[in-house]
Amino acid sequence: MAEKIVEISALSKHYLRDGFDIPVLDGISLTIDKGDFYALMGPSGSGKTTLLNLIGGLDRPNSGTIRVAGEEISRLSSKELARWRSRSIGFIFQLYNLIPVLTALQNVEMPLLLTKLSKADRRKRALLALDIVGLADRADHSPRQLSGGQEQRVAIARAFVSDPAILLADEPTGDLDAASAKEILILLKRLNAEHGKTIVMVTHDPHAAEAASKSVHLDKGVLTK
Amino acid sequence: MRYFILIAKGLGRNKKRTLLTALAITVALFLFSTLQTFLTAMDGAVEVLGDSRLISRNAVSLIFPLPISYLEKIAQVPGVADVSYGNWFGGEYQDRPQTFFAKFAVEPESYLRAYPEVTLAPEAREAFAKERTACIVGERLAEEFGWKVDDDVMVSGTIYPGDWNFTIRGIYTAKRGFDIRTMLFQWKYLDEGMPPGLQGAVGFYIITLADPAGAPRVAAAIDALFENSSAQTLTETEKAFQEGFNVMLGNMKALVTVIGLAVVFAMMLVAANTMIMAGRERTREIAVLKALGFDDGLCQRLLLAESVTIALGGGVLGTVVAKVLYQATGFTMGGWFPAFNVEWSTVLAGLGIAVATGVVSGYFPARRARRLRIVDALRNVG
């Protein structure tokens, strides 16, 4: 039986906006096994990014439980949650979110600053991660000197450099041209297949979702299939 | 140290802004150092003076003279070891009338006895005592004007009209507290140049006490001696005499302090505003750092460290430049002070202000970083 890496039960989230209570997720239950490549699909406003944020510990639910990588994260304090994120989660954002003043290598090294690794080891691991995404030769380049696809690959290297339990990607191809998007999806598939990384990817693009091995659909805060 | 790269890169993000912010603090702290040194120099000028000498002057005002005939009477007062006298001359050095320096007409031998802190070569001492037009100048003054022994100097009188010619016969040095940017010449030369009715006028007497503890008694005895004369005296210790000058400057001192502090405060506000703006521009990055696992406290400390580094950089530059500059140039504030040295305590106080500025100006962006909700920040910018 596969090890469960994400266990979500009766999860609800709503926001208060201008005095109105807006439900976003309504009693969601979902289990993701270790090594899965899941696509979270749904139209805009369906709650898929909110669900991803909750899995990544970036936000807190109003009710329900989320157990990720063996930790019941809704009970963790802000500091504990940050420490847990650094160990267990790698984020890939739609807009890459690289730090513009750092080189590609320094960007990838960033999560390793929170570990006890020496400077030499950090550098070695960051270079290895860049090598995996095919950008070892661009280590000293700043994000401005990279194309969108290359920036996203650096962001992916940053996401897995600390060997987290799960990679969370929010529309990772949403800001890329078709060719670059294809490269990114191939890379994610490789990380899943060859390196055994569990990936949860939010996308509204059916082509992107095809890269995943499983998919779930959200509509108005409810899982539909 | 492992986060040094983040702090360093953060500072280099907008080099021009970082530099200008640091420069604003540099200027503010340079001003602070100058102002503080001005105040300590004023107080220091008093502190180095002891209570072993008394100054006796006209009770009405320093600008009114006393008769030379008082000399013998003062000398006979019990507790008086020695008496000298002199006049403030004023006047402008003909070659550089805009550059002020003090000029006193004094009785050479007794004056140099009264101020043993003055060091003068024996031949210069002898020439100063014998030659009517001889003068001696402080080493800083000689250096400033490029004067050498035997040079002729012409001074145009402002209080005592006419052109007065002098020959420099010596360049003196002195211990701290005695102005080495002063010119001293024979009182008799001045007296002989005065019309007959105005001769024999002394600006002040310098009384060396046999025992400093007897200062109040001797001062009272001297003043009592001339109580019923047309020119009453006011005798006080040299220290009190100097303090009297400072009291006259009191309002200016307060004004300079207030204006200076206001300028410093305004520049600090400018720095704080810049740092708040810089912090706001980093919203997305802070959110990303937090998503990567940097906790709230670490994000707060990183922004504070940046802010303190800028402020401290500016502070070090401002205070150290002030110290080195004033020391290297021998600045005396137009001859007002014998020395205008920025004390290390002032440098330390300046650095303390710089750190405080860094903390205060970094506080708001750092607090904002601490409180930032990742999802809100990413939603707003994404």
Domain spans of chain B, in order of start: 4-46+250-381, 60-231
Domains and CATH numbers, chain A: 35-58+77-223 (3.40.50.300)
Which segments of chain B are extended strands (E)?
53-58, 66-67, 80-88, 92-93, 102-106, 118-119, 134-138, 152-156, 163-174, 182-186, 201-202, 204-209, 233-237
Give the pLDDT mean for B331-348. 76
Shortest Cα–Cα distance, B19 to chain A (Å): 17
Residue B190, pLDDT > 80, answer yes
Closest CA of chain A from B301, distance in Å: 14
* Beta carbon pairs, A and B, within 8 Å: 66
Cβ distance of A53 and B12 shorter than 8 Å = no
Q: Is B220 left (phi over 0), alpha (psi -120 to 50) or beta?
A: alpha
Q: What angle do CA A13, A18, A23 make, to 5 degrees?
A: 20
Residue B380 has pLDDT above 60, yes or no: no
Give the separation between CA A151 and CA A144, rounded to whole angstroms: 9
Lowest mean pLDDT among A77-91, B107-121, B176-190: B176-190
Q: Report d(CA B65, CA B202) in Å as an integer.
A: 5
Cβ–Cβ below 8 Å for A99 and B288: yes
Return the residue in A54, A110, A140, A154 with the most chain B beta carbons within 10 A, the one to mutate for interface testing. A110
Asked whether the beta carbons of residue B9 and residue A95 sit closer than 8 angstroms, the reply is: no
> What pLDDT sits at residue B336?
61
Res. B91 pLDDT band, cuts 50 70 90: confident
Summarised one tens digit per residue, pLDDT across range B133-175 is 999 999 988 988 999 999 999 998 888 888 899 999 999 998 7
Q: Which residues pair with B174 in a beta bridge?
A: B118
Q: Examine the pLDDT at A55 and tell me if it is beyond 50.
A: yes
The answer, yes or no, to whether residue B51 has pLDDT greater than 80, is: no
- What integer is the mean pLDDT of B205-228? 91
pLDDT at A160: 95
Contacts of B359 (CB under 8 A, 6+ apart): B304, B307, B308
Buried b (16+ CB within 10 A) or exposed e, B42-56: bebbbeebebbbbbb
pLDDT at A79: 93
pLDDT at A182: 93
Higher pLDDT, B360 or B111: B111
Residue with the larger pLDDT of the pair B99 and B348: B348
Q: Is the pLDDT of residue B382 over 80?
A: no
Complex-level ipTM:
0.93
Answer whether B292 sits within 8 Å of A110, measured CB to CB.
Answer: yes
H/E segment holding residue A223: strand A222-223
Radius of gyration of chain A (CA): 17
Query: Which of B6, B290, B373 comes nearest A82 by C-beta?
Result: B290
Lowest mean pLDDT segment, chosen from A103-107, A169-173, B58-62: B58-62
User: What does the alpha-carbon distance between residue B351 and residue B346 come to, in Å, rounded to a whole number?
Assistant: 9
Q: In whole numbers, what is the pLDDT of chain A averaged over residues?
A: 93
Cβ atoms of A155 and A93 within 8 Å: the answer is yes
Q: Which of A58, A106, A111 sits opposite B374 (nearest CB)?
A: A58
Residues B365, B306: Cα–Cα separation, whole Å: 11
Out of B12, B285, B291, the one facing A58 most closely (by C-beta) is B291
Evaluate whether B167 touches B97 at the Cβ level (below 8 Å): no
Give the integer Cα–Cα distance in Å for B243 and B301.
48
Interatomic CA distance for residues B113 and B130, integer angstroms: 16
Q: pLDDT tens for residues B264-273?
A: 788 778 878 8
Give the per-residue pLDDT at A197: 93
Q: Is a pLDDT exceeding 50 seen at residue B381?
A: no
- Look at residue A146 and tell me whether its pLDDT is greater than 60: yes
Could you give the angle at which helices B344-371 and B250-280 cross, rounded to 10 degrees? 30
**What percent of chain B shows pLDDT beyond 90?**
43
Q: Cβ separation of B294 and A114 shorter than 8 Å?
A: yes
Single out the residue of B297, B6, B290, B3 nearest to residue A89, CA to CA. Answer: B290
**Pairwise CB contact (< 8 Å): B10 & A101:** yes
Of A53, A79, A106, the CB nearest to B5: A106
Query: CA of A22 to nearest chain B CA: how many angstroms apart?
Result: 16
